[in-house]
Amino acid sequence: MPRGGISTGRYFGTDGFRGRAGSQLTAEHAFRTGAFLGAYYSSLNGTKCRAVIGKDTRRSSYMLEYALVAGLTSSGADAYLMHVTTTPSVSFAARCGMFDCGIVISASHNPYYDNGIKLLNSKGEKLGDEVINLLENYLDDPSSYPVSRADGVAVGAAVDYVAGRNNYIAHLMTLVSLPLSGMKIGLDCANGAAYNIAGRVFRSLGAEVHCVGCRPDGFNVNDKVGSTHISKLRTLVKDRGLDIGFAFDGDGDRCICVDENGSVIDGDGILYILARFLSDENALSGNKIVATVMSNSGLVRSLGEQGIAVERCAVGDRFVYEKMCRCGAVLGGEQSGHIIVGKVENTGDGIVTALYVAQAMKSWGVRASAMTDGLAVFPQVCASVAVSDKMSAFSPEVDREKLRAEALLGGSGRVLVRPSGTEDVVRIMVEGEDENLCVRLCDRLVSAIRGGEECAE
């Protein structure tokens, strides 16, 4: 493997190192990751490395946490443990607590048997490709990087750092200018990392809070709850007559909304709401936002009619953030609910997103369903195809089918075929004015990918 430059992706994808805990992602992987980070940052800065660690509620998170701590301390680093907490809270701690790096143990929206390791730099941003590449080399060959073992007084310490989570909660409380008293809010915490934070924040701000997905047992994270399984929150909001509902994922960096009728407001709808809210507050720098290629073209048209431009980027919150930095936007996000409010954070944060949407609703004095008035949505048909080789997304047959689909859609539609950065699947999106045509074209692309897989076998 190459020794520098762009990450090869041997272990780390667009959202960290993710796989089945105990087989694809092991305690040995975690130990080596900790040992490398301790040695790398100690060498880089000439001082003892300080790393902050948070985890979600999966049973395997403890195994990986302890292994990371062992690796860090064995190379002389100090490990600060925030325990069960969200990805954005670790990002906040990393940049505000003078840490060299942040580590999150989570597989986000995946089932309990998967887990992951996400790495952040001292600014709370995703760790750069150059360092990731060195780490991947070390995971394959420990002789590729000089990691010495500490002994005696040089051995690192493990420090209880629940204070870091409390500091983050205090930070969240400062983001709200209008109290939420009188609002009835539903929360679905996916039995994940937000379960002990979100309800506490909204209740402290005066809201009446009703929860689902707030009883983790190590195995029920994302199990029919959370931002990818919205039905329980929809039922909760409708049955109890709530004003709005918010669903998070396993590590708390996504948010999907449900209005008072139980209708879903996805990431595009949230971007539409927050773009107009920030514009009203004279806080939308340059009157532009960032969205990915997956965002609906209706969002672009609807915001454009209100003088707000949308700049596109590749799928992944990392790419959203990088594009925001380049173009000076203070708001960006994904259809999946990763929303970055750049004036207060540099990563997706489900609770921050929910707080801003609640503020918009309170400020405008409208029902949740009215906040998306004026948002056009074009039919969009999506599919995910499980593959053994994600390069099948670029086979000649798939390329031909994609060109055919684009020709049939003419100038009124789009076709995207891309390998997932987090799973062994190829994702397809067909968007156009005729939904039936989009369905047929999507089905043909699915068949082309599956046919390519069979030929490869």
pLDDT digits (tens, 9 = 90+) for 75-120: 999 999 999 999 999 999 999 999 999 999 999 999 999 999 999 9
181 belongs to the catalytic site: no
| 120: three-class secondary structure by DSSP | strand
DSSP states of 35-76 as a string? HHHHHHHHHHHSS--EEEEEE-S-THHHHHHHHHHHHHHHTT
pLDDT digits (tens, 9 = 90+) for 133-152: 999 999 999 999 999 999 99
User: Looking up tokens 């790398």, which residue turns up?
Assistant: 40
Distance (Å) of CA 322 to CA 4, 217, 265, 319, 327: 20, 36, 25, 5, 9
153 vs 378: CA distance, rounded Å: 63
378 vs 433: CA distance, rounded Å: 6
**178-186 average pLDDT score:** 95
pLDDT digits (tens, 9 = 90+) for 402-451: 999 999 998 788 999 988 877 788 999 999 989 999 999 999 999 999 88
Look at residue 453 and tell me whether its pLDDT is greater than 80: no
Contacts 24+ apart (CB under 8 A), 20-26: 20/113, 20/114, 21/58, 21/60, 21/63, 21/64, 21/107, 21/113, 21/114, 21/115, 22/60, 22/63, 25/64, 25/114, 25/115, 25/116, 25/117
Q: What is the mean pLDDT of the chain?
A: 93
Q: What is the DSSP letter of 126?
A: B
Look at residue 270 and tell me whether its pLDDT is greater than 50: yes
Closest CA to 268 of 248, 295, 249, 247: 295
**386-411 average pLDDT score:** 86
337 vs 107: CA distance, rounded Å: 16
pLDDT digits (tens, 9 = 90+) for 333-378: 999 999 999 888 889 999 999 999 999 999 999 999 999 999 999 9
**307-322 average pLDDT score:** 93
**372-391 average pLDDT score:** 90
pLDDT for residue 395: 84
Contacts of 23 (CB under 8 A, 6+ apart): none
Choose the catalytic residue: 42, 108, 336, 395: 108
374 vs 306: CA distance, rounded Å: 10
The tokens describing 266, both together, are 């996805």
199 vs 176: CA distance, rounded Å: 15
For 382, the enclosing helix (H) or strand (E) is strand 380-386
pLDDT digits (tens, 9 = 90+) for 39-50: 999 999 889 999
342 vs 128: CA distance, rounded Å: 19
Instruction: Tell me the helix, strand and coil percentages in the chain, rounded to 5.
Output: 40, 20, 35
pLDDT digits (tens, 9 = 90+) for 19-65: 999 999 999 999 999 999 999 999 998 899 999 999 999 999 999 99
pTM of the model: 0.90
Look at 72-76, 189-193, 243-247, 312-316 and tell me which has the smallest mean pLDDT: 312-316
369 vs 228: CA distance, rounded Å: 20
Strands 264-265 and 288-292: unpaired
For residue 183, the Cα-to-chain-centroid distance in whole angstroms is 27
pLDDT for residue 344: 87
pLDDT for residue 46: 87
Strands 101-105 and 78-84: unpaired
pLDDT digits (tens, 9 = 90+) for 275-304: 999 999 999 999 999 999 999 999 999 999
192 vs 182: CA distance, rounded Å: 27
